[in-house]
A and B are shown apart, each in its own frame.
Chain A
Amino acid sequence: MKYPKYAYISQCVFPNQRDNEKVFIITRRHYIEFIKYFVIFIFLIIIPIVMFLTAMIATPGILVSIGVLGRDFLVLFACSYYLLVITFFATSWVSYYYDMFIVTDTRIIEISQKGLFNRESYELLFEQIEDVTTRESGFLYTALEAGDVDIQTAGSQRNFEIYRIPKPYIVSEIIAAINNQAKKGIPSKDRMPKMAMVGIIDYYPVMSEKKIPPILNFDRALSQCRVDYNKTTKGGSLREKFDRWWWSHLKRDRELFTDYNNRHGGKDKSGGSGS
């Protein structure tokens, strides 16, 4: 069985993660939800080019006739337009990408990002969950394994409704398994879904095997995070701190990839480390 690379590197932290809190699921909306923005983006890029070419073909001397100032304003307009288009795309991407749903051994967190300046976060402890239901509707969403997960809670606590996430049945099974263990009084550090797939990180399954799945090897990851944090806060100019902070993230990702591949890559290629 091949461990997903992403699962290994994403074991470190989301905001407000507690010490030794295991992460089972980090998922976003299905990518089909972002495709509509992508299509609009492509149209916004192509349409002015088509209009410009059409104008050039219809009136060949138009660029000469508008003069130097006209051409300058045309360039300025095109520059502003395309900057606005990529900004629109970036904003849409932030709204999509930072809309997250996280399941740990203690709680469920839903982070809702609407635009750049509106972010809400909801948290639900497993002890408060009453029922979990899944719904897949429509041909496209069924074919792409996208659906909704409804989590009903006890009392006046807000219900969770998570829309259009990938692999909703597996998500609900994992939540139900951890919920059962929580109701039996099993402490959070010992909670683990008793199934082959114990988590999902951005579409990739995290498998349960004899070896500890990378995503659950949390102590090491957390200590690494602390080391990096100390590095970024000690000494140097503001620019040096910034550089260390920025590049330590990228560097650590590369190191974890390399480390993971060194330790597991060979076995994976030769038929998997199964059972």
Chain B
Amino acid sequence: MNFILLFVIGALFIILIAFLVFSAVMFYHIMRYSLVGDSSKKVYVVYYSVGLIIVAVALLLIIINHLGS
């Protein structure tokens, strides 16, 4: 059971890394091309936060799933 949990968390970690890489690309764009006062930074913060919340919720559900079983 622990092995499965580790495997699933490892998979989730890979997904998280992929998301972080892409969000770094987004950050690069915003750093280079945003105008002062435009909405880029706010949208980036929302995108990044929502992504992290999704991963956190997934991690929580996985842990609950294994605690319940």
Contact = CB atoms under 8 A, between A and B. Distances in A.
A170 interface: no
A40 interface: no
A75 B29 contact: no
A116 B51 CA distance: 18
A43 to B, nearest CB: 17
A76 B15 CA distance: 9
Contact of A75 (B36, B39, B58, B69): B58
A139 interface: no
Contacts of B26: 90, 94, 116
Contacts of B57: 79
A90 B43 contact: yes
Nearest to B55: A79
Given A10-B35, A90-B26, A76 B69 contact: no
A94 B54 CA distance: 21
A68 B11 contact: no
A52 interface: no
A219 interface: no
Given A69-B4, A72-B65, A93-B43, A82 B38 contact: no
A241 interface: no
Nearest to A5: B37
Interface string A51-76: 00000000000000000110111011
Interface stretch (A124-132, A183-191, A248-256): A248-256
Interface size class of B (residues with CB under 8 A): 35 or more
Nearest to A102: B35
Interface in B10-69: 11-12, 15, 18-19, 22, 25-26, 29, 32-41, 43, 47, 50-51, 54-55, 57-58, 61-62, 65-66, 69
Given A9-B37, A80-B15, A250-B41, A86 B55 contact: no
B1 to A, nearest CB: 8
A76 B58 contact: yes
A15 interface: yes
B22 A87 contact: yes
A49 interface: no
B43 to A, nearest CB: 6
A16 to B, nearest CB: 11
Nearest to A13: B36
6 contacts: A68-B65, A75-B62, A79-B58, A82-B54, A83-B51, A87-B19
Given A86-B51, A93-B43, A252-B36, 7 more contacts: A6-B37, A15-B33, A76-B12, A79-B58, A83-B51, A87-B51, A249-B36
